[in-house]
Structure formats: C-alpha cells, structure tokens
Amino acid sequence: MLVSTSLLLVFLVLQNICASLGLKALKLSIPRAVRAGHSVTLGCEYDLDEAQLYSVKWYREQEEFFRYVPKEEPPTRVFTTSGLQVDISVSNANSVTLLSVNRDISGQFQCEVSADAPLFHTQSMSALMTVVVVPAGVPLVTVDKTGLEQGRPLIADCHAPPSHPAANITFFVNDEKVPGYTSEWTTSGSDQLDQKSARLELTGVGGSWDPLRITCEASLFKLYHAKSVEVQVRPDTPQPASVLLMETSSNSAAEAHFPAQVFPIIGLVWTINSRALI
C-alpha cells in the first residue's frame, strides 16, 4: 500500500512538471500566398518556459526539408526536397527562408518543436501556403451587342488574364457590385496557366433607364487586383424600365454563387434563376 502511494505521488509530481515546464504557445507565421520567384520566410514561435530546446523540424506535405538541433554542430541541416531551396545562412530556430519559390511547392507546411530531456514534449502546427503566378495585365469585358433591345438578352463576358491559380471575377453594373454571375468557365494554356472567364446575361423588360456601364474586376488573394475598361451599352428601344439577370442553362453556376436577394441598381430590378428580385 505504501509503495502504491509513493508511485502515485511520483506520477503526480512528474505530471505537474510536464504541465509547468512543457512546450507552450506554438504559433506559425506562414503567408497564405506568395508570388512565384520570390523568397519567403516561414516563422515558428514557441514558449519553452523552463525547458530546453531539443529540435525544430520543418516539413512540406510530411517530407522534412529543414532541421535545427542546437546541440549539434552545425545546428542546421537541410534535406533535399524537390522544388525547395533553403537559405541556410539566415534560417534558425525560429524561421526558415525559402529562395525563389515556384508553384510546385504549394501545400501544407508544418513546424514541429521538441523540448529536451527528460520530457521530450513535442508540438506541431501546419498551414497552407500557395505559390501564385500573378496575372499580367487587366481583365477584359466584351458584350455581344452595342445596344440593349427590349426583351432580348445582352451577354457580357469578363476574361481575366492567365494566372495560377485562376483569378476571381466580380461584375459591376453602373458602379454597383453584382453578387455573382450567370456562368463561369476556366481554360488552361500550354504554359499551364488558367484563364478564368465569367458571363452576365441581362434582359430589358420595359420602362426607362440610363445607359448601362459594365465593368469587371479580377483578384487573386491580396497579390493582384485589377479593373477592366468600362463598356457602355445604350438602349435601342424606347423606355425600357428594368433589367433581368438571367441564367443561360439549367446547370448555371449562379445559384451556387449567390442566393436570391434584393439588389437594387439605380431603379433596376434583377432576377436570379428566373425569380425577380424586388
């Protein structure tokens, strides 16, 4: 009975030591997106409290590419990993710098920190980083006719410049943001870049309005944001009153992009999936 009590006390003491001296507050500093060809520094902060550091290891998709062990000489070690080039001269216990990154290395990056004996407490954390090929130029808006005829659809297409991954597209009509579009598609070129396109279909249904001014914006994370040249479309028939936003097929992307909602644009009324928004 005395032995059992002693063992229990030892266990509780060790448990308290682990709680007080253990590795705490692991925090990653990894950008969500970085430009292809640029260098990037990944940060890993932690609180060892009174424990000593045993090692810091970095992984990309479960494959180790950098290790820091303060008791070894030299303390830093780089492992050959496809597409990764580590700047060992500035990498240390709290950060690792990658040179001239390319889009093939996009993925989950993980930092694993281990405390030294006797606890060898280990914590890890990972985050997704995407290497982006930023578009060159601005998006382009085209329309299938120069005048809006009552009861006949006007189709406006927006084409973002090629990029990786494909850019996001937003339409504007008379400077008001349209919450979605009728359909979208992506094409890939021989350079393995993706070009995003989106379509907006408008139909006049009677009344009066001013000319439509249509633009679109393309964006990619916080690295790229550009607006197209404005296209103006004037009514060919007298007194159209409002505009309907129509889908072009039963497999339209509109329903997936935005729900039915009230969306006034200078007196215009929009419909999504054949439902008028009033």
pLDDT, tens digit, 9 for 90 and up, residues 61-99: 999 999 999 999 999 999 988 889 999 999 999 999 999
pLDDT at 159 over 80: yes
Q: What integer is the mean pLDDT of 11-21?
A: 47
Kindly report the pTM of this predicted structure.
0.73
pLDDT at 239 over 60: no
Q: What is the pLDDT of residue 81?
A: 85
For 156, the token pair is: 């406006």
Cβ within 8 Å of residue 133, ≥6 positions away? 36, 103, 163, 164, 193
pLDDT at 18 over 80: no
| Reported confidence tier of residue 26, pLDDT bands at 50, 70, 90 | confident
Cβ within 8 Å of residue 244, ≥6 positions away? 202, 203, 204, 205, 269, 270, 271, 276
Cβ within 8 Å of residue 219, ≥6 positions away? 167, 168, 170, 225, 226
Ranges 182-191, 196-205, 211-220, 268-277: which has the least confidence: 268-277
Considering only CA atoms, which of 54, 39, 50 is closest in space to residue 17?
A: 50
- Given a contact cutoff of 8 angstroms between Cβ atoms, the answer to whether 65 and 77 are in contact is no
- CA–CA distance, 195 with 28 (Å, rounded to integer): 32
For residue 29, list its beta bridge partners: 43
> Which residue's structure tokens are 């606890």?
119
Half-sphere exposure of 51 (CA within 13 A, CB side): 24
pLDDT at 15 over 50: no
Cβ within 8 Å of residue 235, ≥6 positions away? 147, 148, 149, 150, 204, 209, 211
- Given a contact cutoff of 8 angstroms between Cβ atoms, the answer to whether 245 and 158 are in contact is no
Q: What is the pLDDT of residue 260?
A: 33
Q: What is the pLDDT of residue 243?
A: 52
